[in-house]
Structure 1
Amino acid sequence: MSAPALTVAAWVLMAAAAHAQQAPQAVVEVNASRDSYDARRDDTAGKIVVSREDMVRYGDASVLDTLKRVPGVTISGGNAQLRGLGAGYTQILLNGERAPSGFSLDALAPESVERVEVVRAATADTSTRAIAGTINVILKRAVSKAQRDWKAGAGASSDMAEGKTSLNMSDPAGAFSYSFAANASRNTFRRPVTTVETGGDAQGRPLYEHQLRGSDVGNFNTLNLTPRLTWELDNGDILSWQSFIYANRLHYHSRYVATYVTGAPRIDPLTGSVTSTARRTIRSDVAWTRKLGDSARLESRIGIDAGNYATALAQSSQAASGTLTLDRFADGLSRDRALRGSGKYSGRAGGAHTIGAGWEGSVARNTSDRQQADFGLAATPERYRADIRSLALYAQDEWTVSPQWSVYLGARWEGIGTRSGGSGLANVRNDSSVVSPILHTLYKLPGGSGDQVRMALTRTFKTPDAARLIARPTLTINNSASNPDSTGNPDLRPELALGIDAAYEHHWAKGALLSVSAAARRIEDCTVQALNQTDGRWVLRPENGGQCDVRTLEVETRFPLQSVAPGAPPLDLRLSVSRNWSAVDQVPGPDNRLAEQVPLSATAGIDYKLGALTTGASFVYSSGGHARLSQDQFTFASARRDLEMYGLWKLDSKLQLRVSIANALRHDWISDRSYAGAAGTYGTRATQPGKTWVRAMLEARF
């Protein structure tokens, strides 16, 4: 059945079911205490909520490290992925709004976060730029009692060390309350890397093999602050201010020595570089919530984003004779500024309906300055800019048809306009808009068995980042078909997706769940990477590549062992398996997966508590394998196996010690990129040895 026919059939079935339920209507009352509420079980639009307790359990350095243990989430290249898809298919939100430019989950300490929501199917009240799903990070905001927490810890691995400290403070004082979180860290590292470059002719006969051995040596320092102030006014209105401030500095030098295994030398025997970067980001919001009667409220928010990203890169390459063949220095500064606003009305209607409507808008500008000097001769400075304007309107209705059945209907219109240009480039204008109808339904089987089924139909999309719309080249040192330059494409179009999700869930005890879910996406104008040779250099350029189908099957269970075996030890068990498939029409198979999708991931974990001791272990697996990017481009990534363990000792009521071990299996990371076409065969394979981390954290409450 085609995707449009499937959508129509689903809507007809829902309408028929609603008609069958129509008896003399009565007000449906749902009485549930806060303690009994479970978002995973009770929300019509299903989501996974990762609590702050879960995030700090393993002493992770960042939220990104925490998410790899969440079912269905994989980590690749410093990005969190749903359905095995990164590259912008997974949407990242900060307090329900799209994260500021340059934001990374690797930059956020778990201690600054109240919870993380993982939403696999879109809803109308957040952006529908979420083909694979949404990860919404909620910064610390709840203040129910005075709290003072301080943590300090250190970690070590071979040739690597880290130190971190955090402070959390909150206090309610009548109508006023505040919270403040501060986190700082320093990481020193030496990362050895071995790269093998190979080449052959068009018939596959080998021509050369070169090995580059070296390491990256440096340090990485971070600081983030999250202050929040809240006032409850005499009329019941709530006024709040919250900011997120982040800064980091990275400095490292690299030195690589080439060994010529076979064939004539194609690269210099000695290359090196020195890299320095500094990022400063602030997001600040003022929100006002006005109560309208007993069940309605109006929320308004205005905010600003500001960020600077400075880079400095020195590159050199030396021939066997000692002559410098490359002596380059480039520095740049990228500036992001944005003004945001939003408004939302929500309330109950008719007793069984919870309705909402709202708007979101933003105006953003990115400017980038870059200057390069080769052998001391400076080239003309370059400047690029991109202006982005967005506006969204939405409405939604969550209808409790009966105590067993609820339906969510929503619609969202989202328009985005981009203006970009720069040195030597023509001004480019891109405008797009998408209307997204959304349906979720939850049906709890009668009899109190805890069995329930879900379904969702969504229309989502993905817009190209502003940087990918600017045809600005990024150059590599040893340019080849397997190590190409990259550039943007001002003609990129948004990708549109029609999706369906379905799930069966069985909740049989507190904290006990069995879930089986499946999903499919039909994506139009999906982005692929086109490789071409221009002026003697290989260049990678994004292009729209036709249609793509994505499918996912997930199985998850978690439960206290005592829920199935009374009298058993107090163990909490969890297990999940996710299988992903995708195929891009314009790329020949096999392995023509979208965006190097992770085909298979799995998690397993156990937690045990006995008196003052809490301990546990977690195993995370992500498959790799071969992927075909185009007619003549291929990649390979090794599977990842991460085993982690932790122990928490409560020394007294205010002091505890946490010890954790990460990457206990010392898994190496291998990545490979290759080309096989009319120009011959080329390959670049990099191997980075794995390192086991041991961390200790002392936590005090005062």
Structure 2
Amino acid sequence: MARHPADTPCAPVRRPAALVVALALATGGLAGGAAAQGAPATDDPAPKPPAVPSTPAAPPTPAGAAAVQRVEISGSADANADRRRSTAAKIVYGRDELDRMGDSTLGEVLKRLPGVTMGGPPGRGGNPSMRGMGGGYTAILIDGQRMPFGFSLDSIAPEQIERIEIMRSPVAEHGARAIAGIINVVMREDFKRKTNELRLGVGLEDDRHPQANGNWTYSGQNEGLGYNLSAAFNRQHQAEESTGRRVDSDDAGKPVLEQRTGQRSLNRREGVFVNGRFQFRLGPGHTLDLNPMASVGRSRSSGQHTLVQAPDPEAAPYALADQRTDADSSMARLNGNWQRTLGNGGRLQLRFATMLARSASLTQREEYAFDGLSLPRKVDDGSVRDLSLELNGKYSQLIADRHSVSAGWELQGGQRSDRRLTTEGGEATLAEFGDALQARTLRLAGWAQDEWEWSKTFSFYAGLRWEGIQTTSDGVAQVGGAVLQEFKNRSGVLTPLAHMVWKLPDAPRDQVRLSLTRSYKSPTTSQLIARPTVATLHRDTTQPNKPLNPDRAGNPDLKPELAWGLDLAFEHYLDAGGIVSANLFARQIDQLIRTVRAEEQPTWAVDANGQPVTRWVARPQNIGRAAAAGLELEAKFRPSDLWVTDLPLTLRANGSLLWSKVDGVAGPNNRLDQQPRYTANLGFDWPLRGMPLTFGGSFNFTPSFVVQQIDSQVYRQGVKRVLDAYALWRFGTAASARLSLANASASDYDTGTTVLLADGSTQAQDTLSRTYTNVTLRFELRF
């Protein structure tokens, strides 16, 4: 996409100084410090480098190196043990992967994992998804349970996580609302040793915006109790800067309206996240785990927006706007897990979870016309409250040494209160809909699964799950206190699941996996019962609007998307703990949901005579069938896995080739929303011999792509290149310092849409957002 002219308001400007300084520190400064310190004494061995997925045996000590004892621990011998044993495909990433790059957010970790892509600009988090299939197709779990709508994974510090599990296909126990797969984040649970860990970090974004974060973890155990406590805080100052261009053209291609926008703001975010895990040993094979979790966050954003319109600048809705947003959020959750082993080889498990989440935001916008006169003030005041309670039961029975069956049930209830009041010049907009919306959900599920290691070379899994969800809302439209509309949506899905793994008899390090599954994606509460939103440029609901600027609303008649899935994988495990794998997948999706514009006579549009007004409204709709397929490749190895060498370099690479087609949308590019054609990740770690220094980096690449979302709308996204680097210096075995560069490439982020109407007219919108490099210095202490 062509860049905007230099005179575009708020044009992004590059500032590479942070990158230059940080690279100099990482390569020259730290190495110079090593030379100044000299080699460690013989009785003070050099600290071992961090455990990596592939670690060869320690090479012989070269002559003349008696002053240094090289201690190299092959801590990765069991790094792939869970993956090899699991019948259903599961990839586990532990503390080594989480600590490697010194990431300050979980999103930075996830973007490097096989098959995972992140939405939004580089360095700004976003929703993770698998196989490029967009939000909602991937189940995001914490300790095996779904988190509330709107909860950000970036509020959890990577230091508070024990491991991340990637499941490419669903299993009955974790649920089938996972067409693309499952990402399960397991919080810290190490009770084995008493330890304190303290990590403090400071940084700069764009050379001028300070960042600070810290994490403390304390764990231990005694005869009757194991415990792990952690607390994290973060404080961020982040700038946002973007330019935009919109061009409306008639059926002959002649521009009839052109708008150029500029936006610049400064965001200040502060947050605290605490988590604990307590395991009470009530007797032999009898335990009770309690896992409390809480978070508090606050953000303040202030910025300025500009709008220049042609050919008639004075007709622009505004020329300048000052906007301020204050937002606060809090969440408290308590999970309990009671387990008892029975004498006949059975095990009984009961789980409960309760969660309360609140969020509130207040946006105030002052607009000024072309001649400088003040326009009516706009205020948006909203809050959301989510309350949920979940009860689960599970019974497992060991039939033979390598054969077990399990069955369980789940019951979950939730209530959401969404209050929102929007005013313009002190007058409420859409006042007839009230300022509060109540929604209730009830979910009931039952499942059973059978896992059997038939022989040393063949295992299979068979599961069946039924899940029903009911969503009800009231208070959607109120006049004189009477409820005019009550929405109810009910759905039930039966999902059979089958997995198998075959270890090749003549090649014990090779195995083949096959999965055939049924999965689904349920409509979100907002898709079902979203409060109507009036088009920004056509706020007068007594008049028609334009198809290029529709009103928006929910659709209570939506049905869940259903999918059949097939996965075929080959895995080769290397001698030193590395792996090379290839995975083919295919999904057939029915009742795909897309947002569609259509003419309606909505209840909120009435003219001065009380007659209905026809307006364009965008609602989610089930539009038909889609197919998706792809190839996922992964490799983790050392050069010694391929040739004779003692080079202690670790290499990591993964990539995905992705394809999809939506039958209900005309081509070309009628792909699943947000899906690129391929993704790639490269990374390395290099511990320097004779020095307590390890450095490494990673490169994440997503190409530009175009998606035909519906027949009349095309979405475009530019290329994303994310380069990260780190240098780790160890001061003995208990202390270290880590210098990290996040988004060192800091390239601009392009997005755009084009809408083509039936009469041949078009609207094209492009946005160019600046991204930033973040430099962080973190100190880590264990005692």
Residue 230 (structure 2) pairs with residue 164 (structure 1): no
Change (3 A) 1:350 1:449: closer
Instruction: Report what 2:581 is aligned to.
Output: 515
Instruction: Report what 2:775 is aligned to.
Output: 694
Instruction: Report what 2:726 is aligned to.
Output: 646
In the TM superposition, what are the counterparts of 1:21-40 in structure 2 within 5 Å? 35=78, 38-40=81-83
- More deviation in 64-73 or 308-317? 308-317
- CA–CA distance in 2 between the matches of 1:192 and 1:324? 24
- CA–CA distance in 1 between the matches of 2:376 and 2:623? 36
- CA–CA distance in 2 between the matches of 1:282 and 1:485? 35
CA contact (8 A) 1:222 1:248 kept: yes
Instruction: Report what 2:175 is aligned to.
Output: 127
Structure 2 counterpart of 1:431, one-letter code: R
CA contact (8 A) 2:80 2:577 kept: no
- CA–CA distance in 2 between the matches of 1:575 and 1:653? 29
- CA–CA distance in 2 between the matches of 1:101 and 1:127? 17
In the TM superposition, what are the counterparts of 1:621-700 in structure 2 within 5 Å? 621-678=701-758, 680-700=761-781
State which of 401, 404, 418 in structure 2 corresponds to 1:351. 401
In the TM superposition, what are the counterparts of 1:273-288 in structure 2 within 5 Å? 273-288=323-338
Normalized per residue, the structure richer in strand is 1
In the TM superposition, what are the counterparts of 1:37-52 in structure 2 within 5 Å? 38-52=81-95
- More deviation in 373-382 or 283-292? 373-382
Structure 1 counterpart of 2:636, one-letter code: R
State which of 293, 299, 318 in structure 2 corresponds to 1:268. 318
Residue 150 (structure 2) pairs with residue 102 (structure 1): yes
Report the secondary structure of 2:486's partner residue.
Answer: strand
Change (3 A) 1:608 1:691: same
- CA–CA distance in 1 between the matches of 2:165 and 2:764? 40
Instruction: Report what 1:590 is aligned to.
Output: 668
How far apart are residue 500 of structure 1 and its match? 0.5
Structure 1 counterpart of 2:98, one-letter code: M
- CA–CA distance in 1 between the matches of 2:450 and 2:726? 44
How far apart are residue 295 of structure 1 and its match? 4.0
Residue 458 (structure 2) pairs with residue 398 (structure 1): no
How far apart are residue 277 of structure 1 and its match? 1.4
CA contact (8 A) 2:217 2:229 kept: yes
CA contact (8 A) 1:210 1:262 kept: no
Instruction: Report what 1:181 is aligned to.
Output: 230
Deviations 1:290-345 (A, max 9, x none): 01127432111112010111111112322112233441112111110011111112
How far apart are residue 637 of structure 1 and its match? 0.6
Instruction: Report what 1:196 is aligned to.
Output: 245
How far apart are residue 483 of structure 1 and its match? 6.3
In the TM superposition, what are the counterparts of 1:428-443 in structure 2 within 5 Å? 428-443=487-502
Instruction: Report what 1:567 is aligned to.
Output: 645
Report the secondary structure of 1:509's partner residue.
Answer: coil
Instruction: Report what 1:450 is aligned to.
Output: 509
Report the secondary structure of 1:55's partner residue.
Answer: helix
- CA–CA distance in 2 between the matches of 1:296 and 1:668? 57
Instruction: Report what 1:3 is aligned to.
Output: none
How far apart are residue 378 of structure 1 and its match? 4.5
Instruction: Report what 1:468 is aligned to.
Output: 527
How far apart are residue 85 of structure 1 and its match? 1.2
- CA–CA distance in 1 between the matches of 2:713 and 2:416? 32
How far apart are residue 284 of structure 1 and its match? 0.5
- CA–CA distance in 1 between the matches of 2:766 and 2:598? 21
- More deviation in 531-540 or 182-191? 531-540
- CA–CA distance in 1 between the matches of 2:441 and 2:370? 49
Structure 1 counterpart of 2:772, one-letter code: K
- CA–CA distance in 2 between the matches of 1:41 and 1:299? 26
- CA–CA distance in 2 between the matches of 1:568 and 1:204? 64
How far apart are residue 101 of structure 1 and its match? 2.9
Gaps of 5+ in 2: 1-75, 121-125, 478-483, 539-545, 606-613
CA contact (8 A) 1:153 1:165 kept: yes
- CA–CA distance in 2 between the matches of 1:437 and 1:652? 53
- CA–CA distance in 1 between the matches of 2:701 and 2:615? 38
Instruction: Report what 1:10 is aligned to.
Output: none
In the TM superposition, what are the counterparts of 1:495-534 in structure 2 within 5 Å? 495-532=561-598
Residue 114 (structure 2) pairs with residue 71 (structure 1): yes
Report the secondary structure of 2:98's partner residue.
Answer: helix
How far apart are residue 262 of structure 1 and its match? 5.0
Structure 2 counterpart of 1:331, one-letter code: D
CA contact (8 A) 1:605 1:618 kept: yes
| Equivalent pairs, count | 670
How far apart are residue 475 of structure 1 and its match? 4.7
CA contact (8 A) 2:78 2:577 kept: no
Deviations 1:143-200 (A, max 9, x none): 1110101111112122533110111011112211211110100111221111111111
Deviations 1:357-379 (A, max 9, x none): 11111010101112222212346
Structure 1 counterpart of 2:300, one-letter code: H
Instruction: Report what 1:24 is aligned to.
Output: none
Higher relative contact order (CA 8 A, sep 6+): 2
Residue 414 (structure 2) pairs with residue 361 (structure 1): no
How far apart are residue 132 of structure 1 and its match? 0.6
- CA–CA distance in 1 between the matches of 2:530 and 2:147? 24
- More deviation in 288-297 or 169-178? 288-297
Deviations 1:218-247 (A, max 9, x none): 211111110121110134310111012122
How far apart are residue 488 of structure 1 and its match? 1.3
Instruction: Report what 1:7 is aligned to.
Output: none
Residue 97 (structure 2) pairs with residue 54 (structure 1): yes
- CA–CA distance in 2 between the matches of 1:501 and 1:642? 29
Q: CA RMSD in A?
A: 2.0
Change (3 A) 1:653 1:512: closer
How far apart are residue 648 of structure 1 and its match? 0.8
Report the secondary structure of 2:96's partner residue.
Answer: helix
CA contact (8 A) 2:308 2:316 kept: no
Q: TM-score, normalised by structure 2?
A: 0.83
CA contact (8 A) 1:471 1:490 kept: no
Change (3 A) 1:515 1:263: farther
- CA–CA distance in 1 between the matches of 2:746 and 2:549? 27
Report the secondary structure of 1:446's partner residue.
Answer: coil
Q: TM-score, normalised by structure 1?
A: 0.92
- CA–CA distance in 1 between the matches of 2:436 and 2:215? 39
Instruction: Report what 2:352 is aligned to.
Output: 302
Instruction: Report what 2:17 is aligned to.
Output: none
- More deviation in 247-256 or 638-647? 247-256
CA contact (8 A) 1:259 1:269 kept: yes
Structure 2 counterpart of 1:138, one-letter code: V
Structure 2 counterpart of 1:700, one-letter code: L
CA contact (8 A) 2:196 2:217 kept: yes
- CA–CA distance in 2 between the matches of 1:475 and 1:183? 40
Instruction: Report what 1:5 is aligned to.
Output: none
Q: Percent identity?
A: 33
CA contact (8 A) 2:736 2:780 kept: yes
Residue 166 (structure 2) pairs with residue 118 (structure 1): yes
- CA–CA distance in 1 between the matches of 2:497 and 2:775? 46
How far apart are residue 471 of structure 1 and its match? 4.0
Gaps of 5+ in 1: 1-32
Structure 2 counterpart of 1:81, one-letter code: S
- CA–CA distance in 2 between the matches of 1:62 and 1:247? 16
- CA–CA distance in 2 between the matches of 1:649 and 1:655? 9
